[in-house]
Amino acid sequence: MQYDTELKQLQPKDITEHKKYTRQGMIKRVLNERRMKADKADYRIKWADNIFGDHILTNEKGIRYKIFLRDFENETGYSDSSDSQFNKLGTTKHIMYAFRKLKEDKALYSRLSKIYPFIEVYCDPLNDYKISWHYGGGMLLDEKLLISKFFKKSTFIEDSEVETFLQFIEEAANYETICIRPEVKEKVERRYEELMLNELKKKQEVDFSSAHAQLFPYQTEGVKFALFRKAAIIADEMGLGKTIQAIVTAH
């Protein structure tokens, strides 16, 4: 029986034909997957005093998420879940669930205010997470001036301009009507960190004398590669001294 089993394992397996998706086809597929999960979910929502949010959604495990419903026609919005930060869809199963519940419950919808609560500054998943702004109401003059000063006539800024956005964050602190999502501040911080590391790389000479370790040339190359980066992977084969490279890099 063992002989027969091992012989079968050596036989070539049938080739499985996988379905090929276009980008739009893949987007449709993952949206449908999230919609199916939203339809089966049993969440609880603490509604804000307006239809947009921020609403607090609690899932079956008791984990809470902040939900903001930005666009009722296209059903896009904001969530502080990790899925929202990486999926490039502009929605999540939590957002879908909130839209469905709000549209099904006409009494709830009519009871909540329809006034857009704030000028939202966020990283837009539908535009490669570029820093963007959105507002569904009429802005005051000083708010318009602040937005136009940094965004010009656009609704977003290019990633190459991110380091200039720190001034906006500082000036916007004087406005209760402007809500800057945490991801925006994190993106600005990451940009400054990149600039600082690049500047250090230009100015600093790597001195191995204080490491008290005799490294091979490929190991010093590995350390220099890993230095001045937010993160790095040294992928040498087993036994070639990755650990000492990591220690010297940290040193």
* Phi, psi (rounded to 5 degrees) for 206: -75, 120
pLDDT at site 15: 67
Q: In 3D, which of 157, 148, 125 has the Cα closest to residue 27?
A: 125
Are 91 and 131 found together in one domain?
A: no
Are 111 and 136 found together in one domain?
A: no
Average pLDDT over residues 77-105: 93
**117-162: per-residue pLDDT in tens?**
999 999 999 999 999 999 988 899 999 999 999 999 999 999 999 9
What's the rounded Cα separation, in Å, for the pair 124 and 156? 9
The model carries a pTM of 0.76
Are 97 and 144 found together in one domain?
A: no
Q: Which of 63, 90, 115 is the last residue of a domain?
A: 115
Are 173 and 210 found together in one domain?
A: no
Share the mean pLDDT of the chain. Answer: 91
End-to-end Cα, the chain, rounded Å: 57
Number of domains forming the structure of the chain: 3
The verdict on residue 138 lying in a domain is: yes
The residue segments making up the domain with residue 67 are 22-115
Tell me the pairing of strands 178-180 and 119-124: parallel
Q: Which of 83, 115, 147 is the last residue of a domain?
A: 115
Are 196 and 174 found together in one domain?
A: yes
The verdict on residue 48 lying in a domain is: yes
